Structure 1
Amino acid sequence: MSHTRWKLAREKKLVEECAESPEVAAERAEIRLAMAFAKAVYDRRVELGLTQTQLAERAGLTQAKISRVEGADTVPTLPLLRRLTLALNASLNIALDDDHEEVTFTAHPAA
């Protein structure tokens, strides 16, 4: 079993053992989504061989802002999503479900 599946199974077991309030469940979902987005940005940046500073320059942002995005410390706005998507030369895909969030960048084909 992969670490991710183990982690999700452990999280589901914890949820079953103690009842969460709807507010806590919503906050947990928001955190998972922020972490999924942060990981997707980091993975794509590394795939392109860029530093945070280089990505910031491409997106017209600061390195500190990229650090906050990759640290899941900020809630991205639509304009920020667009800037990052263009800077990462990719399409942004977000899949949301009751207990699953998936964020990926799909590289644009080489021209």
Structure 2
Amino acid sequence: MNHAEWKARRHRALLGEAAEENPAYDRLYEEAEPAHDLGRLVHDRRTELGLSQAELAERCGMKQPQISRIEGGGTTPTIPLLRRLARALDADLTIELTPHHAAA
């Protein structure tokens, strides 16, 4: 089980089944999804490289708790910070806007 799966299971266990039937929960979950996805990507790449959070933080001029918050989906970094993270993770940063395709 990767970090993202663990967090999703933990979140559901803490909130219980009733949370999944609540429309407000669905909206909040959808809004949090990009930060969660980014956190998962950072965590997975960091572990691929064999880096600790402290090592990654040092590489990009941050503190370890900041990396932890990003990986946990608790914050959304700015574009300049995303660039620093990408460089520190030996990765390319690609930001796209793709149009929705009309249903046939």
TM-score band by shorter chain is 0.5 to 0.7
| Structure 2 portions without partners, runs of 5+ | 9-20, 99-104
CA distance in 1, matches of 2:86, 2:78: 12
After TM superposition, which residue ranges in structure 1, 4 or more long, deviate above 6 angstroms? none
CA distance in 1, matches of 2:22, 2:35: 23
CA distance in 2, matches of 1:94, 1:87: 17
Q: Deviations over 1:90-111 (max 9, x none)?
A: 01345678xxxxxxxxxxxxxx
| Structure 1 portions without partners, runs of 5+ | 8-17, 98-111
CA distance in 1, matches of 2:79, 2:71: 16
Q: CA deviation at 1:32?
A: 1.1
Q: How many residues align?
A: 82
Q: CA deviation at 1:25?
A: 5.1
TM-score, normalised by the number of residues in structure 2: 0.65
CA distance in 2, matches of 1:96, 1:26: 21
Q: Which residue of 2 aligns with 1:67?
A: 68
Identity %: 46
Shift in alpha-carbon separation, 1:53–1:94, aligned structure 2, 3 A: same
User: Relative to total residues, which structure has the larger strand share, 1 or 2?
Assistant: 1
Q: How does 1:30-109 map to 2 (within 5 A)?
A: 30-93=31-94
TM-score, normalised by the number of residues in structure 1: 0.61
Shift in alpha-carbon separation, 1:30–1:93, aligned structure 2, 3 A: farther
